[in-house]
Structure 1
């Protein structure tokens, strides 16, 4: 299989995952239920769908990936589980724009964690980008003071951190974590089921969240988790930005929720910084590949 073909395949897979993920938050909002009920339904259907797909894959092929590949897989599953809890909590305690803009901060956390634990020292351009993104998040969070969104913003920041930690562990292990993010929903599912048993089942349109958990989440998580096998990290990051850009648009169209001025300013700073840095990384990667091709011609 040619490298060019692999690259095209990776772009297609990751684009599907990124575009699919953009409707996650609108579907959660359309379901119109309590946070714990939404979390339970979303994670239960995601887990069932993942196990069914994995069982069929395993029956048809001996090369089916492990659900949890070793201790590193367990750590990644826990990280995604914590992400599920903090993400749903953030959906119900801050605006969609604040949530997706702050989630983009996961790239800063990933760079810091790689620096601390993988000894991957970031370059000066990356450090400058991180400082600009910190400014963007501070503007968003500062605008939430007194609006009741501060707790939700903090939960979004926690979600970004746990995603970055999962990515760092996955990179260090080099193992296939395609199903691990989906199996990780066991943790938030257990917590949500316990809470629902006490407060009761509250959701007005359960079909939206069942569709989300059974179809949208497995497709988006699996595609985004497998994209890095074929394309570079910066290219994957560009497709993650689709949710940052499009989710607030869908919510504005459906619910007429308009982002605040501070949220828009901070969000624009985050997006511009991420796009500029990703384009720079892609340019550097092409230069290195070209230099290698000259040094070691086929």
Structure 2
């Protein structure tokens, strides 16, 4: 493939990753009895067996995959765990609108970190896409901002930072097997959630149907989305990677509308359309790709 085709392929994978992630809104919707920590626990119980099965089918040792990732793999697993835990904390302590908006800083943070750490030259269309995307999220959350808890808002910003940092780790580790990141994430989440539930006296005896829904989220939507996201990281820059995966935010309300007839607000629809415009601009606009990124894409296609 040419460098242009490789870049488009990477963009498609990132878009697909966000799309797969977005189906989690359905399993969350059908699990009303599970609190946030219980849901995270059972979601990880669904993710872990999938990772083990895939590794064994590939003839690889799951433990060796974790070791192969080295410090980068461990850092990636910690980033993903922190991101999930902080987002749940933000959803519990501030408004949903604030949680979404502050965590949406991820593409901007990813782009800035890519520039500072990786010396990646961020394309003008990526910057424009980020600005348009943040504008879309502002519209989506308009009227609900300002009433949230300050600590919860800070936690939501931490979500964006952890996601942006993970995009950097995925880019740095694009030439090594990063499969162990997902397994490490599942293991760390299971341990931390279990300890938290034991400390707070939360029940492990939750409805089986809802547990299975959360496990489906982990096995199908998180597992599939992470595979696509990690593959996409080999072909697109960090800021663009996270921006393109914002299809999760766009499509989540769509699935709830189609399956549960929950009509979103007009501002959600308009904001989602604006956000989609920013994502598509970054994905398909013709631009002068930086030389180092083009060379990486070309090598990956060989």
TM-score by length of 1: 0.74
- Partner residue of 1:172? 172
Q: Which runs of 5+ in 1 are unaligned?
A: 291-298
Q: Which region of structure 1 is more displaced relative to structure 2, 209-218 or 116-125?
A: 116-125
Q: Indicate the SS of the match to 1:247.
A: helix
Paired residues of 2:257 and 2:263 also in contact (CA < 8 A): yes
Q: Offset at 1:222? A: 1.4
- Partner residue of 1:249? 254
Deviation by residue 1:98-123 (Cα, 9 ceiling, x = unmatched)? 76676554221111111222233435
Aligned equivalents of 1:147, 1:65: Cα separation in 2 = 44
Aligned equivalents of 1:177, 1:38: Cα separation in 2 = 25
Aligned equivalents of 1:278, 1:31: Cα separation in 2 = 34
Q: Which region of structure 1 is more displaced relative to structure 2, 252-261 or 162-171?
A: 252-261
- Partner residue of 2:277? 272
Q: Which runs of 5+ in 2 are unaligned?
A: 295-302
**Alignment pair present for 1:206 and 2:207:** no
What is the CA RMSD across the aligned residues, in angstroms?
4.1
Of residues 259, 266, 284 in structure 1, which corresponds to 2:288?
284
Aligned equivalents of 2:91, 2:10: Cα separation in 1 = 30
**Alignment pair present for 1:51 and 2:52:** yes
Aligned equivalents of 1:112, 1:276: Cα separation in 2 = 19
Give the 5 Å matches for 1:1-298: 7=6, 17-32=17-32, 33-59=34-60, 65-66=65-66, 69-90=69-90, 94-95=95-96, 104-123=104-123, 126-137=126-137, 143-145=143-145, 155-174=155-174, 175-197=176-198, 198-201=201-204, 203-204=206-207, 205-229=210-234, 231-233=235-237, 240-260=245-265, 263-264=268-269, 266-280=271-285, 282-285=286-289
Q: Offset at 1:210? A: 1.7
Q: 1:80 to 1:196 in 2, by over 3 A?
A: same
Deviation by residue 1:220-248 (Cα, 9 ceiling, x = unmatched)? 2112212344x445986676243222111
Q: Which region of structure 1 is more displaced relative to structure 2, 133-142 or 103-112?
A: 133-142
Aligned equivalents of 2:272, 2:154: Cα separation in 1 = 16
Aligned length: 283
Q: 1:238 to 1:137 in 2, by over 3 A?
A: closer
Q: Which region of structure 1 is more displaced relative to structure 2, 68-77 or 151-160?
A: 151-160
Aligned equivalents of 1:10, 1:273: Cα separation in 2 = 17
Deviation by residue 1:239-269 (Cα, 9 ceiling, x = unmatched)? 6243222111112334454444555555444
- Partner residue of 1:296? none
